[in-house]
Every structure is written in structure tokens, then in C-alpha cells.
Structure 1
Amino acid sequence: MLSYCTNVHPAEDLDGILRQLDAYAVPVRQRLGEERLGVGLWLAAEVAAGLAGDRTARHRLRAELSARGLAVQTLNAFPYGGFHDEVVKHSVYLPTWTDTRRLRYTLDCITVLADLLPPDVGYGSISTLPLAWREPWSPSHDVRAGIAFEEVTRVLRTALARHEQPIRLAIEPEPGCVLDTVADAVTWLAGRVDPEHVGLCLDTCHLAVSFADPAATVDRIYEAGLRVVKVQASAALHVERPGTEEARAALAEFAEPRYLHQVRELLPTGDVLAADDLPQALAELPATGPWRVHFHVPLHAPPDPPLTSTTGVLETSLRALAARGELPHVEVETYTWNVLPPRQRQDLAAGIAGELAWARTEVTR
């Protein structure tokens, strides 16, 4: 079941979430002609805690979803809250996996998802942040994070004993974080976690920004004894010649103040230069090689030239997974609709439907 992630909507209370689903998810389902639409719910920590502590409320939410023709097999538990604040930037990485609030939030999401899963899905998934932003991080932080994952695994095993469907946690590597690349995540997770309960969330925008080979990346995950639990179907900005006046002007339109837009530049040597945000990249990177920018752009609507998108990375990743006989959850995650350059924005329901139609074709293929 293909889903779209509701972190594109700003609501952080249960009634607000239902209003957003009425305003967007239901029209999207109707546009697509589907009897049932998958939604990857984002529940802010306060909402997740309230639902986790009230079984009646969870059953009400499940009934409300069913009445709207919506189904949940995955949660996005990366942002803790405030994801649509005026400025988010580095705060999205807080609390980290060394903070008990992150553990509590994740456990609450497990409780909620266990009561939302439709009976016909094989498992549930919850994506989470790659430990923390890279600074500060020390060996003692590693130990504390490892202990937290041990506790999550214990709870996931207990949940499986109570329910027929397993729930799996999916670590989502992101540029600039402790687990910056998929290779970093594989190194950290392999031998440390139980792959039956903890695996990878392959965000194909993040993967593209790293300039890693998608097929080789998928192979590396499985050769390490891990699995892709969830694919976040997303695309980054690509510009082949970022030093031209035209390219710099086009990129500057995407330098908005809410989210962090990490940039990587590929040198002829194969080395990759890094900048933590687009304004820094425009000021500091040499712009002699191609750039990729962590800005989730609509899958079905490429940016205006000279910019392009990295949908090819998503397509190659899906083919590599299919070659292994794998069918992880696929969630379209373009949370940036409201911060796109004005001329590239669309009606939100129409835009989400267009992305899902595009992704449905790719997943089917």
C-alpha cells in the first residue's frame, strides 16, 4: 500500500489532524479513484502521548480513518513537534536518541500504531531520526543511544507477542547527522540491533544528496544482514553547473528560512564537499562540480531549468529492491510544498495526488 506522509500538514492536535485529513487526504483519495488511501501519519509527541494513554481514543482514530477510506501502516516519528514553526532548521533533530523524551515518543508511537494497523498489512513501520545532528556526539552518546535501542527492541518484541503483525523501527540517515549516509547507518546498526525489529528507512532524497550509488547502497544494506523497512519516496534538487549566473539565481529561490537544506558538491576526484545549508553553499562552495540539495521537490513536477530533480535515484532504488524480492513500505514525503518558490506551488490536494499517481506507476513498474 502506497502512502503519503502527513507531515506536510501543520496540525498538532487530534481534531486538527482530522480536519487536515478531511481537507486534503479525502480529496486526494477521490482524485485517484481509490477506495482506500494509505497515509503515513505524523503525530507530534503530545498527540502520540495522549493516544498512547487512551485506548478509546486510539479506537476512535481508527474508526475515523476507516470512515474516510484511509489506512495507516507507517508513522513518521522523526519530527518531535513544531515541524511547521516559522524556523525549524536544527531543532528537527531534537530531542536526540540520548534523551529519554525521544525514547518515550517512539514507544508511544509503537502503542498507537499497533491499534491502527489494518489486518491485511504484513507489518507496521516507524521511521526515526539518525541519532542526532553530528555535533555534539561522543562515545558516551553512542552508548546511551544503544541502550535506548535495546529498550525499543524489547518493547517491539513484546508488541509482537500481543499482536499478529510486527512493528519495525526504521532509522533514516540524513546529511549532516551522526548517521550522515546509509553507509554510516549500516556500520552503526550492523551487529548492534536485531534486524527483525530495527532496519533502515531509505529516504531517496537523502540518498541522492550523498551521491551514493543507489543499487550498490541497497546491496550493502542486505549484505550487512539488515533490511530496508521503509522507502521515503522523495527527490532532491540537482544542478549540473552550479557556478553559472542562471543556476545561482535559480538556487537562491529555494533558500528559504524554515528548513535546513544541506548541499553536497561532487568533485572530479569523486570527493564530496559539504555545506550545512543552501545560503552557506552559495557563499562557500567552489561550484566547479554538480550540486545536490536537500530540498524535497515534487516527484511529478520537475523544477524549472537549469535545475532538475533526482527521481532517477528513486527509480533505481526501487528496481534494486525489487531485484531482491523486497517490497518495503513506500511513503511519498514531500513536506516542502508550502516553502517551494511561489510559481512552483500547486493546490496541495492536486499536488499530492499527482505525486502519488506518479509513484504508483513507478512502484507498479
Structure 2
Amino acid sequence: MRNLFFISFLILSLGLQAQTALYNSGNIRIHEEGQIGFHTNLINDASFDQNVGLAGFYGNNAITVSGAFMPIFYDIEFFNDNGVYLNTSMALTNDANFVGGDVITPRNLLDIYLNFLQNGDYFSVSDITKVDGYAAITDKQFFSFPVGNAQQIRPLILNSEAVNTLSKCAYFFEDPNNPTTFATSFNTSRKTRDVDVVSTTEFWHLTGNVPSTITISWNQNSNISRLTDAAYKVGIAGWSKVGNQWVDLGSVAQGGDLTDGFVSSEVFVPDDYAAITLASLAIPTEVVSLDNYYLTPNNDGLNDALVIPELEQSPNNHVRIFDRFGLKVFDKVNYTNEFRGYSNTGNVVVGEKNGLPAGVYFYLVTLDDLGTEYQGFLYLRR
């Protein structure tokens, strides 16, 4: 960290003392193992895309990135509690470390976003550090968009049938009947017969032309109890651009209760829908719950593995475990007590070798021999 601050000071002291921004008109490049720290605004009016080191955005004052050219960094670190504001898009080719503060984009300008390129990823996002506005992906098939608003992270997990050339996503904590940044409203009273009640609390905007499924979650701020009295009825609805109404996008995988949970959609094309949100659906059957489980994988012989006695009645089974946002972290057909707090899906990037972080997870169990499905909570402690 000291090196980053020192380098930043050198750059500012070489002729930029009286200015409030670092102005790039060319000839800046971060070489391998190189590091640069920005403590002031960046105006990028030249190519700044051959970087292989680390760029950090630090300080106590908000930083603005603007200019005619999109800067493309290798590794990025965000540690500014007052935020990094993008007035032009910014991209990364490797990792973004969200230490503190949001990356903020104008929601009324769809062409400004933080773009995760083919090998770009992130870690450490939370309610206090995320993308407040639009995040995007290029040349990716699976991604969890780290989006939210100023108060909370509300990710959307995208799983496409092919690679997306470009897909963008933003979260809106507002009533879709009166959106602040769209030219039209999404009337929640206009819906197909299989959609019961549409959320007036929040929605997402997702673009992309590849058939995909999505997973979104809810929390106590989502007010799910206003939609339904049973969590198993929660599904996903999309505002059809053709029909100008909310339609059912499905409820394929689902878990949780009226306070916290997640749901996954059926396959659809994101560009066919102007908004996506949670809704109660006309679902006739209830998913039965098993017990909630407590797991402490510390090799003391107690609760080291997830053991579900009911699986003895159905050797042909399928066990899936999801985090609180609906990201699948474990998947096993014909489960026989293999889960010991480690992911086997490849979706978890940070700390995967050290096991999943402590917290609440949801499990979904399908008993093929009995033709039934169960769900419940799993509490993981380390």
C-alpha cells in the first residue's frame, strides 16, 4: 500500500500540483508488477489499455473517471468510501478487489459501465462496496453481476447457453410503476394470468441476446410478505417489450423463506424484457421442508458433514447447495454425505481452497425414487 501512495504522489507532483485531475493524453502504461494509485480524478483522453499491473483508487474524496477513451486495467483495487464515479466506461482484464466504497455509474446512461472482460472477475463485494449502477461482461457465459444500490448489494447471476458478446445489468430499488430513469413505466397491474402479484419494491435491468437463465435473491428489504404468504410461490417476472405486460419467467430452483431466499428462472432472452423482478406465481404444489442443519467442519467428529437421513430412502437423489444470493456452491447426484463445507462447482473464486465462508446457505434435495423435492437452511460455522 505504501508503494501505491508513493507512486501516486510522484505522478501528481510532476507538474499536476495545481490541477484537480490526472490528465492522460498518451504514454501512460502500467507494466508487469507495476502499481499506480489514483487519489484524484482521472481524465483519459488517450489509449490506456496495455496495462498488466495494479491500478488503485484511494483516498477520502470521491474520484471521477472521465474522458474520450475507456481505460482498461489488469488488476483494480477500490478503496474509497466516498466512491469512484464513472463518466466513461472502465474495464478490467483480471481481478477487481472491492475493499471499500462503491463504483457508481449514471443509471440513465446505459453506455457507461464497469466492464468485466473475458477473464475479468472480482472479490470482496458486500453491502458497502459494489457497483451502484451498471456492470457489464464481455465474452463471458456465466457471471454474477455485483450490482446494488447505495445501501445494499443485490446481485443477479446470469447463466447463458453461449458466450455473451456484451451483457449489462443494474439494480433499481424503486417501484417499477414509476421508474426514475426509464421513458416508460412498467405497470404492475398488467400481467399474464399465471402472475399473481408483482413486486413494487425493486427490479433489475438486464441486457443480452443469448438465451439464458438467471438467479435473483430477496432479503428483508424486498417485502416478499406483500407478494405472498408462502415462499414457494415466489418466482421471476419480466416486463415483455412485445406484450407490454409482466410475464412468468419461471421458478425452476428456489429456496428460502419470506425473509431471505432465491429463485432461478427458465431460459429466456434478456433483450426481450425491459425489467425483471420478483413476483408471486400461481404454483399449485408446495415444496416440503426438511430440517435445518448445522455444520461445523472442524474434524471433531460432530457435524463435520451434511448428513440427511431421509436420503437413505432414495439412493437416487440430487443435492444442491446455494449461498444466500442463489449462487450454486455444491452439486452432487446420488449424495452420500460428501459436503464438508467446500464447493465443487468452480463458481467460488476467493478462498475456495479454504472452504466456503461461514453463513447461511440453502439446500435443495430431489428424491428421484420417491418423486419428491425438499428444501431447507444450512448454517455453516467455522
TM-score range (shorter-chain normalised) is: under 0.3
Structure with greater Cα Rg:
2
Structure possessing the higher relative contact order (Cα contacts under 8 Å, 6 or more residues apart): 1
Quick check: which one's strand share is greater? 2
Quick check: which one's helix share is greater? 1
TM-score (norm: length of structure 1): 0.28
TM-score (norm: length of structure 2): 0.27
